[in-house]
A = this chain, B = another copy of it.
Amino acid sequence: MSHEKFQECIEECMRCMMACNHCYNACLEDENVAMMIHCIRLDRQCADICSFAAHAMSTNSVYAREICMICADVREECGNECKQHDVQHCQVCAEACRTMAA
């Protein structure tokens, strides 16, 4: 039951985690890394809550729904930050953060 009910949402979280961690790595290699600090911070935080949300859903935990709600807020915050940076990895990450299966 659990993993079927949540499967689409879990996969969505994993895609967002991958996009955030890719953006995180790319931001750290940016020539103007000082401009990317807030993005780097949010990328890590967003990737980590996405990963924990996937875990919470796949274990059918009592807190799965609440974690997903926090996750949605952080994705919005991370997506808004990424949207402001005119480089491909940030735009891709902003798009991944905006896409919601839940």
A94: Cβ under 8 A from any B Cβ: no
**What is the count of identical protomers in the complex?**
4
A contact residues, total (Cβ < 8 Å)? 45
- A97 part of interface (Cβ distance < 8 Å): no
A63 surroundings in chain B (CB, below 8 A): 45, 49, 70, 73-74
- Cβ–Cβ contact B21 & A3, under 8 A: yes
At the interface, yes or no: A91 with Cβ under 8 Å from chain B? no
Q: Which residues of B lie under 8 Å from residue A49 when comparing CB positions?
A: 61, 63
A-B contact pairs, 27 of them (CB 8 A): A1-B25, A2-B22, A3-B18, A3-B22, A14-B54, A17-B54, A21-B58, A21-B60, A25-B59, A28-B40, A28-B41, A29-B37, A33-B33, A34-B34, A42-B62, A44-B44, A44-B59, A45-B59, A45-B61, A45-B62, A45-B63, A48-B56, A48-B59, A51-B55, A52-B52, A63-B74, A66-B70
